[in-house]
Structure 1
Amino acid sequence: MRKQKNVLFSLSVVTVLAVTAACGPDSSGTSSDSGEPAGDITVTSWRFADPSAVGTLHLELIDGFNESQDAINVTTEAIPYNDVNTELVNSVLSGAPADLVAIGPSELASNAEYLQPVDDFWEAEGAEFQDAFSETARALATHDGQLWGIPIEMSTTDGMWFNKDVLADSGVDPEQAVSSWENFRAALEQIKAAGHTPMLFEAANATRMDRHWSWYVAGGADLTDPDQYVEQMCTPESEETFTFLTDLYLDGLTPNPAGIAYDEATRQFSAGDVGFYADGPWAPTTYEAYDASILDKLGYTHLPPKEEGGGYGANVDGLLWAIPKGSANPEAAWEVMKFMSSVDAEERQAANGNLPTRTEVLQSAVVADDPMLAHFGALIDEHGYPRPRADFIGEFKQIFITAYQAAVTEQQSPADAHASACDQLRGL
């Protein structure tokens, strides 16, 4: 079993910055008498719909920006996470896009045609601004040799959270449980026998495929090259992973994943009777919004490798502020982006469980003194790989999730469902 290598740091963002024009961006937005950006702009983000402390923070930051100056007035619009891509595409095609959008970096490849590259904005800010962001963070904002926004969060959904009370009642040691797939299944069976829900796994829609990738990495897939995604997901080893994940439900070790997306999963886990659930570093603030009593019961570790001593992965993504194509005021949008990615904003992000993108904050006591953030930072450093991204990734995820749903609902055997998915993938 090979260990998944971290390729984030091999992406050359310095080259991107070096080849951009030395002049600032062309001005097409509204300006004040002083020539500074001004006007009313609209910002859309799924974070504005988040009831947790993270969502509240994003709204507070926008309020803080509006209060900090008089030239630009920002209006927020909450977009459900599952609708982000559809809303972006439809608004650009209709000629009425927002001025600024939150997007996952893994969605850049499939949405770049609806966004404006921001290389000129980065270049105009100068070296001090450019160098303030970690290379990993800048890589998240890079696609096809261009920069598409400012990353304000980097994270992985591949930490394994557990309920300490449930595991103790079931006689399960968490580190032994995540030492291999075999031991993980045995732990889930113990939790089930003790009368608890062993784990939660998501497969309600295509976006939930992002919770599946690293199981395939642990099973032997190398998902660092988009040109090899289909080949890597269609090997006998990946079929074995597909079957393992299907059997978690068929053997009664998780509620039906086909009916579970993030909101339902977090609600159930927060209720306090579930053993394991894979999620990101923001998890405590999300769970607390449902039931604060869960906080004292939380523990965290990593996804299990297939074999003891084997490798496992942590797909790395985050949140990127980007400017849609056709934005009426990109200059004002850029000013908001800078404010939302400032040192103060990044420190507040870290306090709410998101790894910052500025090196200064990433290396500060805010992160170093928080064992949970340090744990997730180590997952990214030692096991991280970019969340799969390609112009066909939306179709790819839909095909694979549909096949998984067919398997868990026993419309097809796992082997047949996996083979059917691969036949479709090869036609992309």
Structure 2
Amino acid sequence: MKIKIALAAGVTVAMVIGLAACGGSKSEESSAGKVYYLNSKPEVVDQFKKLTEAFTKDTGIKVDVITATMADYETTLTSELAKNNAPTTWTMGPSDLAKYKKYLKPLQNTAGYKNLSDAGKASAVQDSDNVYAIPYVQEWYGIIYNKKLIKEYCAKDYAVIKSAQDINSWNVLKAVSENMMDHKDDLGIKGVFTTPSVENSDYYRFTAHMIRPAEFFEYKDNDTTFMPKITWKYLDKYKNLFDLQMKYSPGDAKRDATSMSYEDVTAQFSLGDVPFYPNGVWAYSQIKGNDVADGDLGMLPYYMGIPGEGDYGPGVIMDNQWVVNKKSSPADQKATLKFINWVQTNRAAKRIVSKEMGFAMPATTYGDDAQPDNPLVNQALEYQKKGKKYIRSFELPSLAWQKDFGGALLEYAQGTNDWENVRKVITDEWESTWQANEKASPGSLPAQKKFSE
């Protein structure tokens, strides 16, 4: 069977959606302002087109959208900002504040910020004085698993657990993985974990997501929300999980660490070849319609052996945030703020965002009737119902830091360098990058507050 994979991270896209105001003259368009958005989510290009068409029809304001993927996003944004007709808004993560602060309009007094949930406000990009970006999607990540394969395994007399609910710690995850690999032929699987690829389209899973628990718990130990220097106290725990994936993935993990793409890895899970896939709720759009039924999708936290991790569910991330370009005309800034507020409050917009894009918007305006039909989101939310806390995703220094981290992981995976090199790269570059950020834009470092759960 050929897997049906939607456009995913790492695929280069350059698509412009132009939507002129219906029946409006150029002077009318100019006075009303316009919105020009650089989008980082190619998997929802069609849905964004529908969203912006609805906004234009409702308000008469013109919207242009250009889309680029993570791999090309910084290059595209730099190029677009150098133009006279620069984006009025784009997607910015917390680590990019120093780089783009000179363009950013403070947003703490806008309706878009006031509409956010408490969690959304806590995750909004800010320095000690101002809020500069508004999260528009709340996502969760962890270890996606195939309930059907785990249930079939639990029915075997050699199984070390009775149900998926028994996988509640690193020790149990490790024992189950070893046991399933020993009996993979009987179980009809090719491996236990998807291949831990650090190819360009896929390394983010390890350098932007799986590393977050190690950061979170070190901050927790130090009662802070930011450290310009970090020891990576729990990096060996991260190594536990990375090594487990290397050892129990299909094929030759050493070879496949760089040759397999995001689509290839997703296919391993979507076709039922492995029971575990470390990724986030966004992967549902690529998984659905293949061999794993919606009802068979589950999600585990990133168990890796960090003390206290059993009190937490999957990680929560709000790295996709909207900014407003203060160098745009006042009319364009007003139009852009109107667009953000409209997406948060308009009934049709909420339906498109939640039901068609599959996003969970971190806004108080999104009630129970405006939540995504995404079984992975529902699985992640189950942990909250059980009283579990979420691992918050604090800022990372830069995309360059992630790329160098991925390069060090690849060298380790292929045996050309050791684990201490991984530690050195991410420790030294963490400190030097934050120093460079502060030097380039004084006062741009993340707010350093007491740790709050």
TM-score, normalised by the number of residues in structure 2: 0.70
Identical residues among aligned pairs (%) = 15
Q: Are residues 1:115 and 2:103 paired? A: yes
Aligned partner of residue 276 in structure 2, secondary structure? strand
Aligned to 2:338: 335
Shift in Å, 1:275: 0.8
Alpha-carbon separation, structure 1, partners of 2:169 and 2:401: 28
Please identify, of 242-251 and 329-338, the stretch whose mean Cα deviation from structure 2 is larger: 242-251
Alpha-carbon separation, structure 2, partners of 1:207 and 1:371: 22
Deviations 1:110-165 (A, max 9, x none): 4433632243xx6365xxx654321221233331132224432112223x321123
Q: 1:384 to 1:34 in 2, by over 3 A?
A: same
Q: Are residues 1:323 and 2:320 paired? A: no
Shift in Å, 1:86: 2.6
Aligned to 1:153: 137
Aligned to 2:208: 210
Amino acid in structure 1 at the alignment position of 2:315:
A
Amino acid in structure 2 at the alignment position of 1:76:
V
Q: Are residues 1:349 and 2:353 paired? A: yes
Give matches, 1:219-238, under 5 Å.
Answer: 220-222=217-219, 225=224, 227-228=226-227, 230-233=229-232, 235=233, 237-238=234-235
Aligned length: 378
Give matches, 1:53-68, under 5 Å.
Answer: 54-68=44-58
Q: 1:130 to 1:416 in 2, by over 3 A?
A: closer
Aligned to 1:285: 285
Please tell me whether the aligned partners of residues 360 and 372 of structure 2 are also in contact (alpha carbons under 8 angstroms). Answer: no
Amino acid in structure 2 at the alignment position of 1:89:
T
Alpha-carbon separation, structure 2, partners of 1:319 and 1:292: 30
Q: 1:141 to 1:347 in 2, by over 3 A?
A: farther
Q: Are residues 1:43 and 2:37 paired? A: yes
Give matches, 1:165-244, under 5 Å.
Answer: 165-171=148-154, 173-177=163-167, 179-192=168-181, 193-194=183-184, 195-200=189-194, 201-205=196-200, 207-208=204-205, 209-216=207-214, 220-222=217-219, 225=224, 227-228=226-227, 230-233=229-232, 235=233, 237-238=234-235, 240-244=236-240
Aligned partner of residue 279 in structure 1, secondary structure? strand
Aligned to 2:121: 138
Alpha-carbon separation, structure 2, partners of 1:258 and 1:225: 36
Q: 1:261 to 1:387 in 2, by over 3 A?
A: farther
TM-score, normalised by the number of residues in structure 1: 0.74
Please tell me whether the aligned partners of residues 351 and 370 of structure 2 are also in contact (alpha carbons under 8 angstroms). Answer: yes
Q: 1:413 to 1:427 in 2, by over 3 A?
A: same
Shift in Å, 1:68: 2.0
Amino acid in structure 1 at the alignment position of 2:137:
E
Alpha-carbon separation, structure 1, partners of 2:376 and 2:27: 45
Aligned to 1:303: 302
Please tell me whether the aligned partners of residues 116 and 324 of structure 1 are also in contact (alpha carbons under 8 angstroms). Answer: yes
Q: 1:131 to 1:276 in 2, by over 3 A?
A: same
Unpaired stretches in structure 1, ≥5 consecutive residues: 1-29
Q: 1:102 to 1:169 in 2, by over 3 A?
A: same
Please tell me whether the aligned partners of residues 242 and 404 of structure 1 are also in contact (alpha carbons under 8 angstroms). Answer: no
Aligned partner of residue 269 in structure 2, secondary structure? helix
Please tell me whether the aligned partners of residues 89 and 114 of structure 1 are also in contact (alpha carbons under 8 angstroms). Answer: no
Aligned partner of residue 278 in structure 1, secondary structure? strand
Richer in helix (by share): 1
